[in-house]
Structure 1
């Protein structure tokens, strides 16, 4: 019985994705090559190029398929505490070397569409938590919840992208405090 080509293909695809994440973490985006990924995955370069035109889209797929997704919103009776947890989790995510390397690579390649896909789940979680708070009167009736989520995350993303200052839990807490002053009824 001949080997199952689909199973071999799935195995090769997964090996490529794993190798790409391991290498970007080890050597960074600038030094990452398709040749190195192919060697580590035990496949030919042509196999990689058959599925991905460049290392940016390869890393995006690796990240989407192999890195755990952002969990659903945490909803307790403490809005500020919930927002602090979400922003602290965002800080941890942004400081993760793999996430950092993949996002910076995509920004460098001008793939803001892919960066948006990586960053959007956390914004959706924040908007969901803010909608619950809005319904029960924890935030002003006229609050723009999309803008509030953007303010919360935008400050973190700018500091991360520009490396203008350390990205810390304390900074995340401060951002939550500032935004909450504007949102309270």
Structure 2
């Protein structure tokens, strides 16, 4: 008789973890953050709530990890491995920044990203520890991509050498984030293009 193998606990744990990620993201999208509970996530994932509490201290922590994993999956599908996207360097800084800011707009308009991201941003204001982790795991990796692309622009002579690149990137991502947060005006590709043009060329008349 063939020798039976013991269940692989690591694979079982990974399946459970993946089910919990999917459940958390789905419930926040369908019902909103306030109505999402650990009990609801557990029921949707088909696990006991103690399984969730063994790995995470709160529903916010579950959602944060699920959201980070969602970004990693998207990067892998795009061929970037388990890392954040890189901003392309075609030699045309304006074109490259418009491309990535348009992609950011598309992501912000996608309910799968929009609703969990809003929930985490709001909860991070109340919970400073979660807010710091949200910034470290989700925001900082994306912001560093802008810094690297702007630094390459400096090397190519397309960006002033005396600029603080951390402030410069805020001219690009700040307006988009502000419009996304307020939801008073549409977030479009045309808007993203205009933000890039204003950031690169300024408001003064061109001579």
Q: TM-score, normalised by structure 1?
A: 0.90
Once the two structures are superposed, the pairs formed by residues 25-64 of structure 1 within 5 Å of their partners are: 25-64=29-68
Distance 2:139 2:111 in 1: 15
2:127 paired with 1:113: no
TM-score by length of 2: 0.81
Partner of 2:16: 12
**Aligned equivalent of 2:166:** 146
Tell me, yes or no, if the aligned pair for 2:89 and 2:96 is still in contact at 8 Å. yes
Unaligned runs of 5+ in 2: 76-83, 125-129
Deviations 1:88-139 (A, max 9, x none): 1111122221322222222222232233131223221111111111001112
Q: Which residue of 2 aligns with 1:134?
A: 154
Once the two structures are TM-superposed, the CA of residue 57 in structure 1 deviates from its matched residue by 0.9
* C-alpha displacement of 1:66: 3.0
| 2:101 equivalent in structure 1 | 87
Displaced runs of 4+ in structure 1, greater than 4 A? Answer: none
Of 87, 105, 117, which residue of structure 2 is paired with 1:73?
Answer: 87
The Cα RMSD (Å) is 1.8
Question: CA shift at 1:7, angstroms?
Answer: 2.3
Aligned length: 183
Which ranges of structure 1 fall in alignment gaps of 5 or more residues? none
CA distance in 1, matches of 2:110, 2:131: 19
- Cα distance in 1 for partners of 2:70, 2:120 equals 17
Query: CA-to-partner distance for each residue in 1:134-180, whole Å, 9 max, x for gaps?
Result: 00111222222221111100111111112232211111111101111
Q: Would you say 1:170 and 2:179 are equivalent positions?
A: no
Higher relative contact order (CA 8 A, sep 6+): 1
CA contact (8 A) 1:90 1:122 kept: no
Distance 1:61 1:137 in 2: 39
Separation in structure 1 between the aligned mates of residue 64 and residue 114 of structure 2, nearest angstrom: 12
Q: Say which of 155, 165, 169 aligns to 2:175.
A: 155
Query: Shift in Å at residue 81 of structure 1?
Result: 0.5
Q: Equivalents in 2 of 1:122, 1:4: separation in Å?
A: 36
